Structure 1
């Protein structure tokens, strides 16, 4: 007969009595757990001749192409990507070779070469095998299926900010998401993938890739930039300004079709019956590009031939956190989103969950979510204008498009259903929002008065 399990509280009490020194050490570690698991002085993520940080992203037409970014040591210049229609035999035939372009990045982990290869001319709804070259070696063969026709079902994942303690606490959410949606073809990230600015930027990116495990090579990845992908140059001086971090332009191979004023951080692509448009809230709010982005967004949405549209951005149009109000987004970009009848606006930044209650029209649906460890608190206004809302909850979202129906689910880190609804396209009468309250768990609030570091404005950090 198995012995009964001991509660965590009882175990902690016994440890404190039996071994005070060990308990003190454990408590100190819990209170001051660092943002990465890399101990000071350890070089965990140094580049080598072996390809790493391999990530596939969609081309503007995801039915006919994709692009791949990867990293090696400086010994590798302009390597190859090989691609072939995937087959059941290890002999898949003669692969096509695509030469990569290379950019240099020097970080706390040394000099790295970041490579990009764009693969075009592919057949829709076809499974391709591909690999990337390193120094006298190759990566594993990975699989990417090109987008199918507009009528085919599509499943995608949406993650809010990952940002902090990625290996420690983001890993489990990504694994749960992939278990719940093994058929997902696309993953959207709403910015602040890492925290940055602490001298460990490259370690943080290393942890982001480690926490995502096989996801970046088993589906297409499309991120929005967050404010933490930028840094403050000349901070606390009259010359202070926002500057895009050096990792963002080389870490992903994103479509090059954005607005000129934010060319490296805005883009769009078509995936089956969905047009996804990524805007840069930080550039709009802090660098004066809101008007230019709005004009560009209007053109991209006006030419959308598909049934569905998604705008992916970091900063929310309606902030659920106290003290934040992104006025410029609502002034310049929101009118375009409403005019062009966008279906979903997927956001991050505020480290809580909130779905804005519909107004006169069921769309656009505005959602803010968070995947990572940092957890804030909801404003009083959010509790009256959004439902459901959540504090102290790590989440992922599964979106399933099937003809005239879009089903949206938000699930917790343990897979429990937190929010669910459908958008149903009724043709000439527009789209209808249908709530699905069954099996949802109760709304979650932060139960602690302050964080372990004593901050009352946050729930966890």
Structure 2
């Protein structure tokens, strides 16, 4: 019996200390799916539909979706969106399908590349199931360089996605209705508890309309991997079966990490996604650093963003991602990458690079989901602002020579904000202090499960 099922069976209430007083707090399971219930079983109706970027975001996007095993050669239809229900004859594209066995039954995952599209154009598209179709979804291709762009960045979602991540996603879309791109910094799910497919089902349910109204670019986190041969001399990290099937990614990654690293150009930004788990645990740090060097050296973009799950400078106590700092950090600093977007440590923290007086890189760590850790003493001394016990999302707005960044809480309150301004070949950093709320720290001595190293489970 899993720990989650045991909690469901016994309905255990644990005591948490909040502000020095005891309070009864129910420990919520990782998903809302009761044991033995197949809420997320695949069917002939298409679900888990998500658009992901091509290498050139202006020319199209790729789409992935799921059905049951009865669907083996489905179609995607796409047409320029129009105001009439009659939008004209759509272009039809056949998908490639792969089988997947899960605790919720046999599924087929379908991928299709949709290229040859016009830049900055709204398209309507739908995907096929078993004698049925999805809704018509609207996705706009990337604008040409020089046009404004809004994008979203989320730290780890991971736990209790439907229960507590849903509100963050909806608030983010409310604050950035013009967003065309969403970046997820890894650990989308927790995994490893026999509920992997339920967790992926919850991630897509929590995301709602986001994965079909904009393109989604995720990083793989350590929880997208599992431990094979755990607690034996043969123990090793293995990428989970869902990752390469859930998204149709560009496929231009680093040697040894082709399935989990990639890059793409989107308007005035080049986005490079690394796999920190592969770098730290599977020996690909040097290969990814060499690949990153080449991708950044060849970048024509005005702004360069790098996303990786594990931080260069960890704000959590007793974490030191040495191989990333040894091999990847020098590349980020040498190329003066504008933003390094990270997760993993379940707190918020921001700091500049190693060279005093330089505006870039700006290193960001954030968390969108329910699990909340505690800040280290070093993080409080070297990062500003920082936060504990806070679900966040980030809105980035790129407009010519300006990149504006906002970190907002789950209720939409502004927690951090700054602007980078291009000044010749350099950058200027302008802090925005107005309208920010005050610092947030964990008010509890122990988590609901009685852990002193966490604020919330």
TM value normalised by structure 2: 0.94
2:123 to 128, 132, 146: 128
Mapped to 2, the partners of 1:25 and 1:263 lie a distance apart of: 43
Check conservation: 1:422, 1:436, Cα contact below 8 A: yes
Mapped to 1, the partners of 2:12 and 2:327 lie a distance apart of: 50
* Residue of structure 1 in register with 2:17 after alignment: none
* Residue of structure 2 in register with 1:8 after alignment: none
2:244 is the counterpart of 1:249: yes
* Residue of structure 2 in register with 1:460 after alignment: 456
Mapped to 2, the partners of 1:272 and 1:395 lie a distance apart of: 25
2:440 to 439, 444, 447: 444
* Residue of structure 2 in register with 1:81 after alignment: 76
* Residue of structure 2 in register with 1:432 after alignment: 428
Mapped to 2, the partners of 1:301 and 1:140 lie a distance apart of: 38
* Residue of structure 1 in register with 2:413 after alignment: 416
SS for the counterpart of 2:300 is coil
Check conservation: 1:357, 1:385, Cα contact below 8 A: no
Shift of 1:437: 0.6
Q: Which has the higher helix share?
A: 1
Shift of 1:260: 2.5
Check conservation: 1:55, 1:216, Cα contact below 8 A: yes
Shift of 1:120: 0.7
SS for the counterpart of 1:387 is coil
* Residue of structure 2 in register with 1:198 after alignment: 193
1:91 to 86, 94, 99: 86
Q: Which runs of 5+ in 2 are unaligned?
A: 1-9, 15-23
2:154 to 143, 159, 172: 159
Check conservation: 2:12, 2:27, Cα contact below 8 A: no
2:304 is the counterpart of 1:301: no
Comparing 351-360 and 303-312, the one that deviates more = 351-360
Shift of 1:338: 1.2
List per-residue Cα deviations over 1:106-138 (Å, max 9, x = no partner). 010000000001011111111111000000010
List per-residue Cα deviations over 1:48-79 (Å, max 9, x = no partner). 00000000011000000100000000000021
Q: How many residues end up aligned between the 2 structures?
A: 437
* Residue of structure 2 in register with 1:40 after alignment: 35
* Residue of structure 2 in register with 1:4 after alignment: none
1:382 to 367, 379, 382: 379
Q: 1:58-457 residue pairs with structure 2 within 5 A?
A: 58-358=53-353, 359-360=355-356, 361-428=358-425, 430-457=426-453
Higher relative contact order (CA 8 A, sep 6+): 2
SS for the counterpart of 1:264 is coil
Mapped to 1, the partners of 2:73 and 2:275 lie a distance apart of: 30
Mapped to 2, the partners of 1:65 and 1:217 lie a distance apart of: 13
Mapped to 2, the partners of 1:198 and 1:30 lie a distance apart of: 22
Shift of 1:33: 1.2
Mapped to 2, the partners of 1:161 and 1:80 lie a distance apart of: 33
Check conservation: 1:54, 1:69, Cα contact below 8 A: yes
Shift of 1:335: 1.0
Check conservation: 1:268, 1:277, Cα contact below 8 A: yes
* Residue of structure 2 in register with 1:15 after alignment: none
Runs of 4+ in structure 1 deviating by more than 2 angstroms, as ranges, are: 24-32
Check conservation: 1:357, 1:387, Cα contact below 8 A: no
TM value normalised by structure 1: 0.93
Mapped to 2, the partners of 1:304 and 1:402 lie a distance apart of: 18
Mapped to 2, the partners of 1:204 and 1:72 lie a distance apart of: 17
Shift of 1:32: 2.4
Check conservation: 1:80, 1:100, Cα contact below 8 A: yes
State the superposition RMSD in angstroms: 1.2
Shift of 1:233: 0.1
